[in-house]
Amino acid sequence: MSKSRSKKIAEKTIFATFKILKENGGEMRGKDVVDRIRETTSFDDYEKHRFEKTGYIRWESILHFYTIDCMKAGYLRKQKGIWYLTEEGEKAIDLGAEKLLNSATKLYREWNTKRKAEDGIKTDLGDFTEEEAAQVQKSLINQYEEDAYNGIRNYIISKNPYEFQDLVGQLLTAMGYYISDIAQRGADGGIDLVAYTDPLGTKHPRIIVQVKHRPNDSVSSDEIQKLGGTLKRNSDVGIFVTSGTFSKPAKKEARESREHIELIDFERFVSLWQEYYTKMTDEQKSFLPLHPIYFLGE
């Protein structure tokens, strides 16, 4: 039996995804993976066709559709817009494009058969089979979620360092902290915000906050050490907030530091903003406005 065009597209895009992730240490933003595939892979007009209803490109939709197979097979993980290649996924690259996809699809079908047997799930979406319908829904939701997350990320990236510092201050206020000092332009001595748990700052701890707006960089261990050096009182707590990430040595430094240093990277910052969004005033929400949409879950 001849192979469908969709299957051929899936084979080359999934295989390209795995190789790109491996070349980049096993993790990348999903959007960056798709962009890299677009730059390095040739597509014909059929593959580049844009669907009128969703606005998505055919090859991108097929890629997202088959990443569900790879996730259920244990080859791939997704979280907050980041795609992670697992150890099993890295080994699967040796199978080649065709066998890799076949093995992922086989493992997905085994999982789905077991799930339906346990849950008694029924699905009816027109021309799709029951199995395909659930997978189409999941892949579309994944695309919507990633688009939404990338929209938030691009919005934050567009801010200057002082605007990002203001975002951090608004979040801490919504969380119930009281900001007593905000660094102005110029050298800040490693302190951007000072916060307390009460309005007058008479209760412990004093919270020293360092903010770095570097979306594409990782914070180093040296920078964590410098924050630790600003914690002069025994009860001081440090919080390091970045719009990027923390290096592994930086995380280790924070864990092993004598002082309590809390790390908030971009992913955690967005999660906290979402968590406390309903507690914010309209003015606070305007700094990073969100609109929640709910989909039917599995």
Same-domain check for residues 56 and 167: no
Place of tokens 């199978």: 95
Residue 196 and residue 152 share a domain: no
pLDDT for 134 equals: 59
Burial class (CB in 10 A: 0-12, 13-18, 19+), 178: middle
The reply to whether 273 and 149 lie within a common domain is no
Task: Write down the pLDDT at residue 148.
Answer: 87
Q: Does residue 218 sit in the same domain as residue 131?
A: no
pLDDT at 128: 44
Residue 291 falls inside a structural domain: no
For residues 186 and 88, state if they share a domain.
no
Distance CA 193, CA 191 (A): 6
Hey, which residues does 116 pair with through a beta bridge?
A: none
Low-confidence ranges of the chain (pLDDT < 70): 1-2, 111-137, 184-190, 296-298
Which residues, other chains included, contact 161 with Cβ-Cβ below 8 Å and sequence gap of 6+? 211, 212, 213
Q: What is the pLDDT of residue 126?
A: 38
Per-residue model confidence (pLDDT) at position 123:
39
82 within a domain of the structure (yes/no): yes
Q: Are residues 21 and 111 in the same domain?
A: yes
In a domain, 297, yes or no: no
177 lies in some domain: yes
Residue-wise pLDDT tens digits, 275-292: 999 999 999 999 999 988
Question: Considering 123, 157, 191, which residue would you say is the last residue of a domain?
Answer: 157
Greatest extent of the chain over all pairs of C-alpha atoms, in Å: 77
Residue 294 lies in a domain: no
**CA 239 – CA 209 distance, rounded (Å):** 5
Domain that holds residue 21: 5-157
Interval 169-213: pLDDT, tens = 999 999 999 998 777 655 555 688 999 999 988 889 999 999 999
The CATH code of the domain that includes 226 is 3.40.1350.10
Task: Give the whole-angstrom CA distance, residue 159 versus residue 153.
Answer: 10
pLDDT attached to residue 51: 83
Q: Are residues 132 and 184 in the same domain?
A: no
Residues 122 and 250 in one domain: no
Same domain membership, residue 49 and residue 65? yes
148 plus 22 within the same structural domain: yes
Q: Which of 136, 157, 178 is the last residue of a domain?
A: 157
Please, are residues 257 and 228 in contact by the beta-carbon 8 Å criterion? yes
Within a domain: 186 = yes
Q: Which one of 97, 126, 157 terminates a domain?
A: 157
Distance linking the first and last C-alpha atoms of the chain: 33
Together in a domain, 140 and 234: no
Query: How many contiguous H segments (helices) and E segments (strands) does the chain have?
Result: 11, 10
pTM score of the predicted model: 0.69
Number of folded domains in the chain? Answer: 2
Residue 97 included in any domain: yes
pLDDT of amino acid 186: 54
Q: How far apart are CA 209 and CA 145, in angstroms?
A: 30
Residue 292 belongs to some domain of the structure: no
Q: Are residues 100 and 75 in the same domain?
A: yes
